[in-house]
């Protein structure tokens, strides 16, 4: 996220950190990175740095439908990361620091939740597909090790449902595509692009539902997954590869993770299968790739159909909409 939430007062965040984690900030700097949460670098009065994450409970409808359910889903995901790090011993897991009450997550107010992580100084990687075969291989080996750890966390981790963010807004738009949008400066321009592709969007969403039904038997034996192991969630720290952003951790098919690491031609699948000792289903890989694409498109619909301003985040989503829509035919062909 390129800009902090307008309704979150920094002083309120500082007080929550002082009460919850006994962290008193000498300085707090917003970090304009990531796509699903807001981040700050906090330097405490003792000079130690910390990485603070704030999640908008209204912006995770792929997880649940209410703020309370989203908060519980986040708490379970982060608690799973803590167990993987501390109990299983997976050193590549960047788990949150427990608050004074022992929990990894606390409510900041009705809408926002806050967590604290160790601050890592190292090399990060750009978002997108894996272009470095060596890095892809290391990521696959890491994910295979994660999946083999499933028995230790099966009882506490949530079960992932392959639905995408913004489904309600996309459905409302498809029911009445000619209704003007007046949520903000980019509303009508975005609707003008989307309205030309309504038939394709409806076909893709329906195709995803059919594929989810068809692959249900193949998804019956879930493993613990990270959910978003793309290169931007990797960091090299002192020669070690670390995996960050565990808010999406859940029990799901192994294909959920591998779909984001293997190439479009599925290079890397054999390596994973050998390392993990389990077979992957190409149809389930397709399911999760299409879900990821629809998540992006429907999130754009939600953003511009509703109230928004002219910010670095909204401009980035506006600028990327046309190119996302150009990819629709290839995804329809893949589903077919």
What's residue 130's pLDDT?
Answer: 96
What's residue 254's pLDDT?
Answer: 98
CA atoms within 13 A on the CB side of 270: 2
What's residue 34's pLDDT?
Answer: 72
CATH number of 1-119: 3.30.200.20
Task: Return the CATH number of 124-336, one of 3.90.660, 3.90.1200, 3.30.70, 3.30.160.
Answer: 3.90.1200
What's residue 33's pLDDT?
Answer: 80
With bands split at pLDDT 50, 70 and 90, how would you rate the model's confidence at 8?
A: confident
Q: How many residues does the chain have?
A: 336
pLDDT tens for 276-293 read 999 999 999 999 999 999
Domain parsing of the chain, residue ranges: 1-119, 124-336
What's residue 72's pLDDT?
Answer: 97
Strand ranges in the chain using DSSP code E only, listed in sequence order: 25-31, 38-44, 49-56, 106-107, 112-118, 123-124, 223-225, 234-237, 240-243, 250-252
pLDDT tens for 291-315 read 999 999 999 999 999 999 999 889 9
What's residue 1's pLDDT?
Answer: 61
What pTM value is reported for the model?
A: 0.93
Regarding predicted confidence, which is higher, 59 or 175? Answer: 175
**Count of other CB atoms within 10 angstroms of residue 57:** 23
Question: What is the number of H-type helices and E-type strands within the chain?
Answer: 12, 10
What's residue 284's pLDDT?
Answer: 97
Q: In which residue are the tokens 């912006």 written?
A: 59
What's residue 9's pLDDT?
Answer: 81
Model confidence at 10: pLDDT above 90: no
């Amino acid at each position: 996220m390129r800009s902090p939430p307008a309704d979150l007062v920094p002083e309120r965040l500082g007080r929550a950190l002082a009460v919850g984690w006994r962290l008193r900030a000498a300085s707090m700097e917003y970090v304009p990175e990531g796509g699903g949460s807001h981040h700050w670098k906090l330097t405490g009065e003792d000079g130690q740095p910390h990485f603070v994450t704030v999640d908008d409970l209204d912006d995770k409808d792929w997880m649940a439908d209410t703020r309370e359910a989203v908060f519980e889903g986040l708490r379970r995901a982060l608690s799973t990361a803590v167990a993987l790090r501390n109990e299983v011993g997976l050193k590549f897991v960047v788990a949150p620091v427990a608050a004074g009450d022992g929990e990894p997550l606390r409510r900041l107010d009705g809408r926002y939740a806050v967590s604290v992580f160790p601050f890592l100084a190292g090399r990060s990687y750009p978002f997108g597909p894996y272009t470095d075969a060596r890095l892809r291989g290391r990521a696959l080996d890491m994910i295979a090790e994660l999946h083999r750890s499933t028995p230790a966390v099966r009882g506490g981790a949530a079960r992932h449902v392959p639905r995408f963010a913004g489904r309600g807004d996309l459905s409302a738009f498809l029911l009445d595509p000619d209704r003007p949008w007046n949520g903000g400066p980019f509303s009508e321009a975005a609707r003008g692009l989307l309205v030309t592709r309504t038939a394709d969007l409806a076909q893709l969403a329906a195709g995803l539902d059919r594929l989810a039904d068809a692959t249900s038997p193949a998804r019956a034996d879930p493993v613990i997954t990270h959910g978003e192991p793309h290169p931007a969630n990797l960091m090299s720290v002192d020669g070690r590869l670390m995996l960050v952003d565990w808010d999406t951790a859940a029990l799901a098919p192994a294909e959920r993770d591998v779909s984001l690491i293997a190439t479009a031609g599925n290079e890397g699948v054999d390596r994973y299968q050998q390392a993990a000792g389990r077979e992957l289903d190409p149809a389930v890989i397709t399911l999760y790739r299409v879900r990821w694409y629809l998540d992006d498109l429907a999130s754009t619909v939600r953003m511009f159909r509703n109230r928004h301003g002219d910010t670095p985040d909204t401009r980035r989503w506006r600028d990327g909409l046309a190119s996302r829509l150009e990819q629709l035919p290839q995804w329809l062909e893949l589903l077919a």
